[in-house]
Structure 1
């Protein structure tokens, strides 16, 4: 190696070390701030004079939909304890509020377009139109329904105190926050943490980058092939009822959005079967089968620290564990110096996952299976100082072994 080559190699090594060190201190972002996501939903100057866009005002006419919305994680998107802890520990970046408080009037400070940069490092400037009460509503009615002063829904041309129009596809309202991408050079992800829509498209066989939609909801968002998405169809069950009190019954949707935060919904999406499958002279074999039969995307979904644990045990006559096997179903990512998928063992749609346990004849009195759903790992709870319950049991079964299998 000549001197020039040696100097070049040393220089390259120093440059790589400097890059890695910089990225350890200033980690990359999990999503790209594309132009369609860079600014909050515009309402200033768009609504008719005197048009109150608060959820309370909407609920005056649409009481049932408002009551359902009030019970959801959307309504609490700003107040959610975990979001507040995570957001503030991450520097309280104003871009995050474009999902948790999507309207321009909901944001006390907004990103300065003149000093926007890559979006994540945009300078924040005061918002004179800020409405504190509206911020408390999180993902409020207008966040999904209002664009350019027009209220969108399943029907158009209604006799209403505001302009109305029909959706081109109702899933356009979901994609803004649930289908971010990351095209940055320092991120190698199959799908970003909030990219549930991309998982749906993959499961359906559709190209996530196909079918670019140009309308006032998505602008230049290239992500969603809307024909393949079924966000609304699954998370907003169909209902026939009056749109307003005293009005005629019309087809519509319940405003529930039950999902990863709702244990009943999660349980409904997972089928669990635990049974003996074979027996020989020396051992009895049992299998636990998990099937994601209710979701069109991987589960657990959402942020990467959600997980399922499967615990299989053989027990003695006193109920003490003789052998324990634990399996973790999760998505793990590396956040620095680059954003990379490490592994993903979650449940794919309609793809059974089978776990086995063997009980030795003459020793075990029973076998037991426990499945738990975790909103986060214990280490995350400690790191965020999160005080609420982080896991719930969704399945438990104990199968006694016949006396012949455990007597001496």
Structure 2
């Protein structure tokens, strides 16, 4: 029995014998290698290249995802693990925010990275040249399958760009962008005037600004183009001056410059000390001018007073004129002086006294005294005398001094315009000559 078992073992160990017909021996059965298949549990957004239902061990597959997502990892490989085929990693589509997406153009990030995963934050600052605002944090978020930056904390306001108006305009200061509340002055080459002289950058809403101009009582948004317009010239004509009126004939050249949006205004302003013995009021007389020529008339002025006659222009007509087109100092004519202020008559000195007149209505060149003496009891007695004294005299000794006589004395100031109002003394001397009752002064 032992011999039979050994023979069987030897027979199994020998190579297979050829069949009687000389055919090859029967092959030994082998197992087919397994392949990697795409699990249904993987992220359905994944795309595979090359595409196929299964992959053999050793195959590499490149992955991709829809816009806004990145595969992690980007490449996987089918590996052989004993009798099984397995994937090297389990991939997924991960949401990613990029600067090429909805990255705000008004900010720049402190981080040099170009991609950020959902949930990551990065600090940003406003681009200083074109925007202004405080630093903020932005966060990469995913909502309803959409990946984007949460920029709710960003408050960058766009600056006012340098206006592209008339190329002849000059800006001071001159730069590409202007920040909030910054002003710039506009000017034009010689012979031209800007339609606006000062503009200001003002915030409008939460993200941008616009240019404004001061118009009467408030800043208004500029909607028109600012241009350089030819500055008109005022040609003065005939001048008429009286004690209370100044009249100046004027003509505008060239004619087209004084039409349209130009606003022209004349003004007569007191040109001298605002406080003096004459108590002149510094009232300014203004009047609008229209057309290509006309007359500037300033009335209700002070005599013998210097005024500055000014014609100014402005563009457009919605604002006050600011460019002086013509200016001249004019003195009104002299008028008769006011009534001199007199002092009570001193009987002991028999002297008439008065205060010197100030040159309010003209230069005082002297005083005129008219003396009349008469007697009620003697109708044949009448003496009349007219005297002239120079402007420095302020008293007069009455001679001769007649007793028992009534006197009426008047005094008037004199300018180049003539005699002014009179002040008056009325008195009567005693017959004895011992007393002098003053009857009154006017």
TM range (shorter): under 0.3
What TM-score does the superposition give when structure 1 sets the normalisation length?
0.25
Q: Which has a greater percent of strand?
A: 2
* Structure of greater relative contact order (alpha carbons < 8 Å, 6+ residues apart): 1
What TM-score does the superposition give when structure 2 sets the normalisation length?
0.23
Q: Which has a greater percent of helix?
A: 1
